[in-house]
Structure 1
Amino acid sequence: MLRQARVTSESGAGVSRRPRTAAPLTREGIAAAAIMVADERGIEVVSIRRVAERLGSGTMSLYRHIADKDDLISAMVDQMTGRYAYPDPEGMDWRQRVHALARTDWRMFLEHPWMLDATSSVAPPFGTESFAAMEWALEALEPLGLEPHAAARVIMTVNNYVQGSVRVVLGERGDGQADDPGLNWQRRLLDVDLERFPRLRRLVRHPIPERGRDWFVDGLDVILDGVQNRGRAPA
């Protein structure tokens, strides 16, 4: 009888087996699966249930690692921030570092537009990768001698500029191509009667170079010129 029971157990007869995921669940793995869902369908469809389906797991299993949807989005943002880590600052001055920061974030938001809503829908802190990014940015501004809160305002202003510029580009083309918004705006107004608005008419008729102009960098430099005047760094 004992041998028969062992054989029955080994053969699986009469034993209910639940399907297992290919790998143990982790917070990082859950966030990675959620990122894939967001990349494919947008942040608005991301849920614990959909991510569990993606992983072939039960919903309750995810709750051992993720508290709720806000916690899930925080984990997604932190992981994405780590994927787009800022470069080694060796040899860069403060201004070059802020340009590198802006370009890195620009690429991240264009390649993963759901991050625009994710970073605004859930309040920080997001996690260690996000803390590391903020530390990098604060260190970049140290040569300016700004007070901590003033430096934080600079970072927030640059971040708002980057996100706003990405939203303009996505709205203009819908495909993330970085056409010059100023040039597009000028073209749309060329045939409009602006007789009553002489300054606007002069602006519209003033030529903007079709090539050789990086409107994103130009706008960022306007911000950084003001930042430099507030700090103590040399030009």
Structure 2
Amino acid sequence: MSPRTRPAGPLSRDGIVAAAITLADRDGLDAVSMRRVAEHLGTGPASLYRHISHRDELVTAMVEHVVAQRDYPDPADLDWRECMHVLARQDWAAMLAHPWMITATATVTPPFGAASLASMEWALTALAQLELPLQEAARAIMTINNYVQGTARVVLGDRQAGAEDDPGRSWQRRLRDVDLGDSPHLQRLIADPLPDGDRHWFEDGLDVILDGVEARHARRSGRGAAG
């Protein structure tokens, strides 16, 4: 059980959200309940309900608080690929700092808060440079989000196991002692040493997705020119 932390001043919505984030950072999202947050603040659950109606609203507010900390540059100052790298890096940093965000962003349902909506609008504005249909632009952004969430899960799992943050190195290490006699391609892959230093694996993986977005745009533009 968490130690009680008596609020310094009157209970507020922001204070409740901050306490919930502290609990989630330490114990995971499942540890966040109105009762646990009230205990953490040294008060009763009824006092929280004056500010937040239910747990789902609290989780939404937690996500909003984290998203609101991000600083997105003017998309007109960057090309679309640079913008997508900014988008991915912002999400990546948030999920590594607050692992519960992986689950929360997958379960929060509309209505989204102003910060989340502004983030989505920023990403769509950035991709408008490609003149993609909005549905296709949204699909590209969703694919990037899925990539970030998936790689964050892998890295956080490796950290719990005491491995480093480079999934490729961790994967190589785990397979090094496995009998790969029937897998010649894997044998060569594991035997090939990875270069020292930062391999920029996160950015390289993101660029695989962005290359696909660019190729689809080029095909569409080519069809338009041909027509």
Q: Specify every segment of 5 or more residues in structure 2 that has no aligned partner in the other structure, as ranges.
A: 1-5, 222-227
Q: Match for residue 158 of structure 1?
A: 144
Q: Match for residue 9 of structure 1?
A: none
Paired amino acid for 1:54: H
Q: 2:190 aligns with which of 186, 193, 204?
A: 204
- Please tell me whether residue 71 in structure 1 is matched to residue 60 in structure 2: no
Q: Match for residue 225 of structure 1?
A: 211
Correspondence 1:1-16 to 2 at 5 A: none
Q: TM-score, normalised by structure 2?
A: 0.84
- Residues in 2 aligned to 1:230 and 1:195: alpha-carbon distance in whole angstroms: 39
Correspondence 1:186-197 to 2 at 5 A: 186-197=172-183
Change (3 A) 1:154 1:131: same
- Residues in 2 aligned to 1:32 and 1:218: alpha-carbon distance in whole angstroms: 35
Give the drift of 1:40: 2.4
Deviates more, 1:147-156 or 1:190-199: 190-199
Compare the two structures and name the one with the higher helix fraction.
Answer: 2
- Aligned-residue CA RMSD in angstroms? 2.5
Give the drift of 1:190: 3.0
Change (3 A) 1:62 1:188: closer
- Please tell me whether residue 127 in structure 1 is matched to residue 113 in structure 2: yes
Give the drift of 1:181: 1.1
Correspondence 1:59-98 to 2 at 5 A: 59-89=45-75, 91-98=77-84
Q: Match for residue 38 of structure 2?
A: 52
- Residues in 2 aligned to 1:143 and 1:71: alpha-carbon distance in whole angstroms: 35
- How many pairs does the alignment contain? 215
Deviates more, 1:198-207 or 1:62-71: 198-207
Q: TM-score, normalised by structure 1?
A: 0.82
- SS, match of residue 77 in structure 2: coil
Q: Contact 1:21/1:55 (CA < 8 Å) preserved in 2?
A: yes
Q: Specify every segment of 5 or more residues in structure 1 that has no aligned partner in the other structure, as ranges.
A: 1-19
Q: Match for residue 42 of structure 1?
A: 28
Higher Cα Rg: structure 1 or 2?
A: 1
- Residues in 2 aligned to 1:37 and 1:47: alpha-carbon distance in whole angstroms: 10
Change (3 A) 1:174 1:159: same
